[in-house]
């Protein structure tokens, strides 16, 4: 069975639109982007369109890749004190700017991406919304009745956006995963896994011979190959999977919806 991320996104979008209209005021999201990248431009446009569709005011602030570190830190502090309901810092940042330092300048009450240390720790304790990709995966598991208990779960990738938050969430759910990265003997573990969640950003490297029949496959990795978006998992793995989230059209659309759900929760529009 294929995860229909677009339909799940549409269902969430309808609920969020109704909430915004009911409240009568437009939440405000500031999206900060440093540098230029046509692939990232596409991601930003997806967020902009979704937000505008549900009635959110989107403010996109773009800065040159060579912006001075201290100046950018000052800019982010000002955004933290602004009247925006949420702030998104589009990653990656240029090498001369410390990503963790900047993310920790986003106040937890405005951190819809849940990338600051304060917001993430609060999320693991149930005091803050989950990171959007984690919320998307949890939503997919709930939608398709996936029970984690007693399952061997493998997470491929240790990145800030997928691998790390997903792994820590699984630990908080008492489901300790096997965590792998490029260079490890990935197939030795994936062949025995009941559930594989991948966010490595290595196009189509997980192939049918690396998974068992009846496995649940959640592909949260994206790569741009000659203008085409590809996931970590080769499409042919779907033939062996009980449930498979394709790229594009799987986790990605749900993640965008969850980001805006977080915005409404943090701004008091959603309980």
Are the C-beta atoms of 28 and 57 separated by less than 8 Å? yes
pLDDT at 246 over 70: yes
CA–CA distance from 97 to each of 7, 68, 81, 94, 226 (Å)? 38, 8, 21, 6, 28
**Residue 271 confidence (pLDDT):** 52
Mean pLDDT of the residues in the chain: 94
Exposure of 232 by Cβ count < 10 A (0-12 exposed, 13-18 middle, 19+ buried)? buried
Give the torsion through C-alpha atoms of 239, 241, 247, 251, to 10 deg: 160
pLDDT (mean) for 150-161:
95
> Of 226, 254, 268, 267, which Cα lies nearest the Cα of 84?
267
> Crossing angle of helices 163-172/132-143, nearest 10°?
60
Strands across the sheet with 28-34, in order? 57-63, 28-34, 86-89
Q: Which of 22-26, 160-164, 233-237 has the lowest mean pLDDT?
A: 22-26
**Residue 42 confidence (pLDDT):** 87
**Residue 38 confidence (pLDDT):** 85
Are the C-beta atoms of 116 and 103 separated by less than 8 Å? yes
Please, which pLDDT band fits residue 183 given cuts at 50, 70 and 90?
confident
pLDDT (mean) for 51-62:
96
pLDDT at 265 over 60: yes
pLDDT (mean) for 184-206:
95
> For the segment 64-92, what is each residue's pLDDT rounded down to a tens digit?
999 999 999 999 999 999 999 999 999 99
Are the C-beta atoms of 184 and 211 separated by less than 8 Å? no
Instruction: Name the token pair of 29.
Output: 């999201």
Instruction: Name the token pair of 160.
Output: 């800030």
pLDDT at 13 over 90: yes
Instruction: Name the token pair of 170.
Output: 């699984």
Are the C-beta atoms of 39 and 226 separated by less than 8 Å? no
What percentage of the chain exceeds 90 in pLDDT? 87
pLDDT (mean) for 148-173:
95
pLDDT at 270 over 80: no
pLDDT (mean) for 171-185:
92
What percentage of the chain exceeds 70 in pLDDT? 99
Are the C-beta atoms of 157 and 215 separated by less than 8 Å? no
Phi then psi dihedrals of residue 116, to 5 deg: -80, 155
Give the global pTM.
0.94
> For the segment 33-47, what is each residue's pLDDT rounded down to a tens digit?
999 888 889 889 999
């Amino acid at each position: 069975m294929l995860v229909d991320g677009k339909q799940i996104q549409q269902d969430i979008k309808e609920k969020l639109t109704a909430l915004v209209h009911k409240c009568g005021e437009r939440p405000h999201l500031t999206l900060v982007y440093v540098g230029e990248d046509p692939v990232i431009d596409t991601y930003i446009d997806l967020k902009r369109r979704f937000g505008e569709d549900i009635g959110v005011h989107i403010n996109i602030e773009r800065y040159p890749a060579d912006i001075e570190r201290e100046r950018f830190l000052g800019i982010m502090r000002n955004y933290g004190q602004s009247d925006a309901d949420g702030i998104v810092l589009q990653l990656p940042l240029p090498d001369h700017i410390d990503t963790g330092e900047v993310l920790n300048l986003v106040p937890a009450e405005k951190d819809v991406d849940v990338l600051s240390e304060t917001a993430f720790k609060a999320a693991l304790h149930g005091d803050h919304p989950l990171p959007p990709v984690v919320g998307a995966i949890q939503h997919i598991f709930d939608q398709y009745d996936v029970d984690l208990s007693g399952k061997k779960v493998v997470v491929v990738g240790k990145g800030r956006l997928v691998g790390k938050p997903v792994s820590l969430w699984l630990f908080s759910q008492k489901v300790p995963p096997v965590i792998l990265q490029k260079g490890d003997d990935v197939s030795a573990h994936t062949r025995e896994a009941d559930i594989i969640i991948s966010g490595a950003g290595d196009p189509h490297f997980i192939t049918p011979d690396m998974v068992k029949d009846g496995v649940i496959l959640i592909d949260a990795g994206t790569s741009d190959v000659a203008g085409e978006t590809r996931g970590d998992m080769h499409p042919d793995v779907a033939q062996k999977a009980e449930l498979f989230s394709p790229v594009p059209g799987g986790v990605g659309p749900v993640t965008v919806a969850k980001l805006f759900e977080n915005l409404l929760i943090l701004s008091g529009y959603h309980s």
